[in-house]
Amino acid sequence: MAVAQIRILSEDDVEAVHAKTLELLENPGVAVRSERALKLLGDGGAKIDAERMRASIPESLVKETVKNLPKTMRFGARNPRQDMVFPREGAPYMATNGTAVYMTDLNSGERHTTTRADLRDFMILCDAMDPLDYVWPIVTAHDEPEESHALSELTTCLLNTTKHVQGEAMSGAEARAEVEVASAIAGSEDALAKRPLFSVIQCPICPLEFERGSIEATMEFAKAGVPVVSMSMALMGLTSPVSLASTVAIVNAENLASFAISQLCRKGTPVVYSSESTSPNMMTGEIHYGALEEILLAAAAAQMADSYGAASMVGGFGLGLAGSSPGIHLDPAELIFTSLTSDTGTDFASGIGGLDQAKGASLEQIIIDCDMWELVKELRRVVRFDEEHFAVDLVRSVGPGGTFLKSPHTVRNMKKELFIQSREKAKNTALYQLSRDRMEFIRSARERVSKVLSTHRPEQVDDDTKKEVERILERHQRR
């Protein structure tokens, strides 16, 4: 088997990153702003400085953590045919961007603050888009209470798509409510643990700090068997040293520390190694998705995850991140860098539909990004080098100077071996040619969104389950 893949670290480099990571985990250690999490780490062998709320994690605990990581995982969906499994072959599973604070109006193009109803429209559209494998709550529900907006967003997603949902939680209480909601839909807590319908992204605060609400949520999810994605978001020169090597070591330390807490809660609980690290715009301090350093950090992080046998979610794909309106705003170099992050060997990726360095989102951008992702992901197609695919007998039968065009083998296998678009998809792709008017493909995307929203109805949960989910949401909001 062969597959396109970017590797930037040698075996010696991987060992060096691991060694420096162990040094960092011991000294300075990690700040953990939760007494519960500190006690857990202390019981697991970490040295705790209670006054400074800091844990020094020894090599022995790291080794035990890595040993307990699951070798296989299933990420469930309401529709079992849309389950995702690790290890993953070929292109990564792709998701939307997450929790933007504004969107562009489908008709006027004007920006507006997003609501739960907007998120519902996004989920209906995403449910219909085959290139999307799973979803984040792509926009924030600003009309929901701050202390429960993540729960409300997760609920909205689970009710309006049959795909796997990736959410978050801001506290242990919110995490428990999310588990309760998903268990009601899955049928029970045991059913949820076997096929978790959702996973969560819980971000450390770079460098090397875990906020109380987030880490206590991580503990609740770990106990319930809900996959936790420990997304490190280092910014070179701001929240990590400006050198690539040091930033990779910090990313690695944050992931291993998060893994240690999860595995101490429940041995073998599903976790995902993650980095959305990049360099900032040093003129403004703003995060810069599409920077050259992003691909280098993503590739290094994916290799470190692989060295531990862990699933990974690094890099992503999105063509609107450099603009605040639907379209393709990346310059050619940034477009290449962004596309190459899918060749890092990562199992999961995200970014579809985002605008303005992930602050915004657009329904039309979902269509545009999905069209392009369907082309780009072919670079990660698995290529087999076995007896069947060498087809030596066929070459002998045709002989030197012959042609394989009329061979039944060509007819049987050309759609498996070659990238051949349907006429409808080829027509859509042609709209993106540089010689065409940019507004052509934006108008086309707008029309396709309108058609989906007026005709597509995701499979619904039964009325009793829907009422139970809403009761859980209301009960959490009254606290």
What are phi and psi for residue 82, nearest 5 degrees? -105, 15
Would you state the torsion angle of the CA atoms of residues 178, 181, 184, 189, taken in this order, to the nearest 10 degrees? 10
Q: Under a CB-based contact definition with an 8 Å cutoff, are residues 132 and 370 in contact?
A: yes
Q: Looking at residue 1, what is its pLDDT?
A: 65
| Cα separations in angstroms, 214 against 11, 228, 336 | 34, 11, 34
Q: Under a CB-based contact definition with an 8 Å cutoff, are residues 378 and 419 in contact?
A: yes
Distance between CA 185 and CA 197 in Å, rounded?
Answer: 9
The string of DSSP codes covering 294-307 is: HHHHHHHHHHHHHH
Q: Looking at residue 82, what is its pLDDT?
A: 98
Taking alpha carbons only, the member of 373, 382, 286 closest to residue 335 is 373
Q: Looking at residue 330, what is its pLDDT?
A: 76
Sheet of 354-355, strands arranged across: 111-113, 102-104, 360-361, 354-355
Buried b / exposed e over 415-454, threshold 16 CB at 10 Å, is eeeeeeeeeeeeebeebbeeeeeeeebbebbbebbeebbe
Taking alpha carbons only, the member of 3, 4, 8 closest to residue 297 is 8
Distance between CA 47 and CA 57 in Å, rounded?
Answer: 7
Q: Which two tokens stand for residue 452?
A: 């989906």
Residue 386: CB atoms within 10 A of its CB come to 7
The two counts, helices (H) then strands (E), for the chain are: 18, 18
Q: 3-state DSSP call for residue 91? A: coil
Q: Under a CB-based contact definition with an 8 Å cutoff, are residues 169 and 202 in contact?
A: yes
Q: Which two tokens stand for residue 427?
A: 């027509």
Distance between CA 257 and CA 275 in Å, rounded?
Answer: 14
- H runs (alpha helix) in 382-459: 387-390, 392-398, 408-417, 423-430, 438-455
- What is the full per-residue pLDDT of the chain (479 aa) written as tens digits? 677 788 999 999 999 999 999 999 999 999 999 999 999 999 999 999 999 999 999 999 999 999 999 999 999 999 999 999 999 988 999 999 999 999 999 999 999 999 999 999 999 999 999 999 999 999 999 999 888 899 999 999 999 999 999 999 999 999 999 999 999 999 999 999 999 999 999 999 999 999 999 999 999 999 999 999 999 999 999 999 999 999 999 999 999 999 999 999 999 999 999 999 999 888 887 777 777 888 899 999 999 999 999 999 998 888 898 899 999 987 777 677 677 878 899 999 999 999 998 999 999 999 999 999 998 898 888 888 999 999 999 999 999 999 999 999 999 999 889 988 899 999 999 998 878 888 999 999 999 999 999 999 999 999 999 999 999 999 988 77
**In the beta sheet, which residues pair with residue 236?**
240
Q: Under a CB-based contact definition with an 8 Å cutoff, are residues 80 and 73 in contact?
A: no
Q: Under a CB-based contact definition with an 8 Å cutoff, are residues 73 and 312 in contact?
A: no
| Cα separations in angstroms, 108 against 117, 322, 325, 440 | 17, 21, 11, 16
Q: Which domains does the chain have, with CATH numbers?
A: 67-380 (3.20.20.480), 387-417 (no CATH)
Q: Under a CB-based contact definition with an 8 Å cutoff, are residues 163 and 132 in contact?
A: yes
